[in-house]
Structure 1
Amino acid sequence: MTLRAFLFAALFALPVEAQTDPSKAALDAVQMLEEASIALNNAENARDRVRALTETIQAYEAGLAAMREGLRRAATREAQLNAELRSREDEIAQLLGVLQTIETTAPSVLMLHPSGPLGTARAGMMLSEVTPGLNAHAQALAHDLQEVQTLRQLQQSAAETLTEGLTGVQSARTQLSTAIADRTDLPVRFVEDPVRTAILISSTETLDGFARGLTEIANGEIAATNADVSSRKGKIALPAQGILLHRAGETDAAGVKRPGMVLGTRPRAIVTSPTAATIRYRGPLLDLGNLVILEPQPGLLFVFSGLQEVYGNIGQVIPEGTPVGLMPGETPGIGAILSTSGDGTGTDRSETLYIEVRQDNSPVDPESWFRTGKDG
């Protein structure tokens, strides 16, 4: 095979031996979404449908997030490779021109050298030394071209995968709402008195005042509990997938300082109970929108506000990982996801979940209880 023929063969026929990071990330995301789809089918017959559907939604959310990141990295990598290839166009053209000249010259002429047999031998040795370098150059170039093709194919096929993923997560959310409404197996510590709840809401102007009066909304006694999560202090997972936007005491975009922290989430993200807890209140309150107040142990309250939908009944004792609501917003369509796939700044986390922790009727820093990766 001539040098020029070898170069063309390497450029267009070299198989990819291993996926690069961007393409592997996108392919891993596809697998995650496929596994979530299987989990959704299995959830139909699961004994604990609420837990199964919750895990399915979380799997879909993780898969869609991974797909966004994979596509973002793929687009960045493709642009980088295209720029590199364009910058090497002159070099490649010159190389091919030399090879073209060599190939069109008669073999008998190539074997001759003006200085005689010794010069011919030396030229042959030089060519034998140059050939491996040319081959390596062709191999590297072929790999880059193949990688561009792979990344482009991944992006072109992403629409179908995203369609299935978005349809699947929406179906799982709908089924979850039904499964929670049908649930009757949870213990109850007290029964809410709606009239007392309404009176408390109308008579308080702050979250602090409302939290202090929670014992007044029960119709009868509140059953005692020896629940204790103090051993997990500082290690409890956040209730939703997201990024920390504001810590306790920091001024937010509106110029307001709050004793809780603000978590940025994607639209329609699921919010779950980070521990087993009693639902002390759920519903609209003041200017906080829909919120859920959980009691993991006596004297300790977790407040999650900013939800669009809230799940469960006041007085129920729910297991760890139980969904307590969904964030507001509209799930972005395929076009929006693909068009923002180059944005790695987290601006797609457009919803905000406010998290406040109250201990013995006073707010404390949520990061003293939740694991936020503040050192990372």
Structure 2
Amino acid sequence: MRLARVLSAACCAAALWAGSAAAEGRPDPASAARAASAQLEKAALELQGAVDARDRVKALTETIRAYEAGLEAMRDGLRRAAMREAQLSRKLQAREGEIAQLMGVLLTIETAPPPVLMLHPQGPLGSARSGMILAEVTPALNTQAQRLREDLDEVQTLRLLQQNAAKTLEEGLAGVQQARSALSQAIADRTDLPRRFTADPVRTAILISSTETLDGFASGLAEITDEEIPESHADITTRKGQLALPVQGVILHRAGEADAAGIKRAGIVVAARPRALVTAPAPATIRYRGPLLDLGNVVILEPQPDMLIILSGLAEVYGEAGQVIPEGTPVGLMGGEVPEIGAILSLSGDGTGTERSETLYIEVREGGSPVDPETWFRTDKDG
């Protein structure tokens, strides 16, 4: 009776394990983290070539983007690895009893004398059934033992990966910082950009002091120079709805949505990581860049006549008013402090987005009036 009950329990446990393993699937976060490490190594090589590139600004911009993508992928890979490790640990802990029971079955089978195995309370028919159960259970037990070994190996691999990630992250963060410094210098040295006008600092200061709203300042932009601004024939209407966001991030507030303080704005707010690069989403003229009202540093771009893209909340701004810049040209950096390695690793299991601590406000104006930026920018409108 005891052996029959134990064998029956073993069959149930084996079936439970097999069904669970089939339903779970087997994602591979370790591979994702390794791929991110390769991205960062590639970015490091790109940095070496960017310093001596003919178009250093473009090369360094691409390098910083590569670093940002690699660091993003590394954070995601580590988060997935931590989640997978926790899942496996919970799974193994929850099945300690089942494992012990199965080990007991194996021990009983191995140690019980042959005569005992031949006896069954139900006679020869019961003994035959027990033999059939043994024949079915033994392969299942071997399969589950193999899965257990695989789970334990995966836990060990994931823990080792997370331990080794610190060095990769440290090198990546150092590399992107070096690239940002080189980019700032390359932009300061640039002399090849065409210029539509030269801003007058006195007129600009007067306009700033005489306006109290972004709307008023945008309406008076023509007053920052004493010369007539040449007409632009640029046209990006065919790209409506397809412009990339100026910064890598996620939509925090859409146009017209109230923020935590209950304030509704005409533009969108994008949550980004500290020191993220901000670039021009289209070829444009820089109409203004610098501090403005209570908006922090602001960059106002004119990609076509009667259209302005306003970016505010940057810590650093690049370029000069009047310059005509190509698409993808850096216009600034987000603020904030890059977390220490330990903080980044501790966030690897978070996934709540709290690491995107900086916000970029994006407003689009056509004919002097705000329009929903999402009619121009490519965003996840269902997110």
TM-score computed with the length of structure 1 as normaliser: 0.89
Counterpart amino acid of residue 348 in structure 1 = E
Task: State the Cα distance separating 1:176 from its structure 2 match.
Answer: 0.6
Cα distance between partner residues in 1 of 2:82 and 2:202: 57
> 1:249-264 alignment to 2 at 5 Å?
249-264=256-271
Quote the residue 1:190 is aligned against.
197
Task: State the Cα distance separating 1:371 from its structure 2 match.
Answer: 1.4
Task: State the Cα distance separating 1:227 from its structure 2 match.
Answer: 0.4
Counterpart amino acid of residue 99 in structure 1 = L
Cα distance between partner residues in 1 of 2:103 and 2:203: 86
Task: State the Cα distance separating 1:96 from its structure 2 match.
Answer: 2.0
Quote the residue 1:245 is aligned against.
252
User: Which residue, 130, 136, 139 being the options, matches 2:146?
Assistant: 139
User: Which residue, 289, 301, 309 being the options, matches 1:294?
Assistant: 301
Quote the residue 1:217 is aligned against.
224
Cα distance between partner residues in 1 of 2:222 and 2:125: 104
Quote the residue 1:56 is aligned against.
63
Cα distance between partner residues in 2 of 1:178 and 1:89: 60
Q: Does 1:329 align with 2:336?
A: yes
Cα distance between partner residues in 1 of 2:186 and 2:107: 71
Counterpart amino acid of residue 322 in structure 2 = G
TM-score computed with the length of structure 2 as normaliser: 0.88
Quote the residue 2:180 is aligned against.
173
Cα distance between partner residues in 2 of 1:284 and 1:112: 87
* SS of residue paired to 1:145: helix
Counterpart amino acid of residue 50 in structure 1 = V
Cα distance between partner residues in 1 of 2:356 and 2:163: 25
Q: Does 1:87 align with 2:68?
A: no
Deviates more, 1:22-31 or 1:327-336: 22-31
* SS of residue paired to 2:362: strand
Contact map agreement 1:190 1:219 (CA 8 A) in 2: no
Contact map agreement 2:51 2:182 (CA 8 A) in 1: no
Q: Cα 1:19–1:62, aligned 2, differ >3 Å: closer, same or farther?
A: farther
User: Which residue, 40, 49, 53 being the options, matches 1:42?
Assistant: 49
> 1:341-352 alignment to 2 at 5 Å?
341-352=348-359
Quote the residue 2:160 is aligned against.
153
User: Which residue, 228, 234, 241 being the options, matches 1:234?
Assistant: 241
* SS of residue paired to 2:238: helix
Counterpart amino acid of residue 21 in structure 1 = D
* SS of residue paired to 2:338: coil
Quote the residue 1:113 is aligned against.
118
Cα distance between partner residues in 1 of 2:345 and 2:62: 25
Counterpart amino acid of residue 372 in structure 1 = T
Q: Cα 1:112–1:220, aligned 2, differ >3 Å: closer, same or farther?
A: closer
Task: State the Cα distance separating 1:52 from its structure 2 match.
Answer: 1.2
> How many pairs align?
357
Quote the residue 1:285 is aligned against.
292
Please list every run of 5 or more consecutive structure 1 residues that lacks an aligned counterpart in the other structure: 1-17
Cα distance between partner residues in 1 of 2:117 and 2:247: 76
Quote the residue 2:107 is aligned against.
100
Identity among equivalent pairs (%)? 69
Contact map agreement 1:232 1:369 (CA 8 A) in 2: yes
Counterpart amino acid of residue 302 in structure 1 = I
Cα distance between partner residues in 1 of 2:53 and 2:253: 39
Counterpart amino acid of residue 269 in structure 1 = A
CA offsets per residue over residues 131-153 of structure 1, 9 Å max, x none?
A: 22112111221121111111111
Q: Cα 1:208–1:362, aligned 2, differ >3 Å: closer, same or farther?
A: same
Task: State the Cα distance separating 1:201 from its structure 2 match.
Answer: 0.9
CA offsets per residue over residues 204-227 of structure 1, 9 Å max, x none?
A: 111111111111112423222210
Q: Cα 1:112–1:299, aligned 2, differ >3 Å: closer, same or farther?
A: closer
Counterpart amino acid of residue 313 in structure 2 = G
Contact map agreement 2:298 2:310 (CA 8 A) in 1: yes
Quote the residue 1:4 is aligned against.
none
Please list every run of 5 or more consecutive structure 2 residues that lacks an aligned counterpart in the other structure: 1-24
Cα distance between partner residues in 2 of 1:182 and 1:156: 41
